[in-house]
Amino acid sequence: MYKYHGMLLGFAAYEHHVGFYAISTAIQQAHAAELKGYKTGKGSIQFPLGTRLPINLVRRMVAERVAENERKASAEAKAKAGRKR
């Protein structure tokens, strides 16, 4: 697992697939058409072994996840600063 302003994402290799984790529902829904044909679950995507990993899709989803975490961290910092006043 990788952290960046909280849990960012993770991956794991299995016998028949590579699991990609901590992807938000919003990101999965935004890429539903591109994820068609892959097994998905809440916050997870399975990429079968023996097939080419969709690198451009993974890059876009990671960038979107980074942006989500940055927005969340910014909102939390603003809320914390407001409580200090």
What would the mean pLDDT of 60-64 be, rounded to a whole number? 96
String of DSSP letters for 21-48: E---HHHHHHTHHHHTTSEEETTEEEEE
Q: pLDDT band for 85, please (50, 70, 90 cuts).
A: low
pLDDT at res. 80:
84
Write out pLDDT tens, residues 21-42. 988 999 999 999 999 999 999 9
Q: What is the DSSP letter of 13?
A: E
In terms of residues, how long is the chain? 85
Q: What is the CATH number of the domain that holds 58?
A: 3.90.1150.200
Say how many domains are in the chain: 1
Domain residues for 42? Answer: 2-84
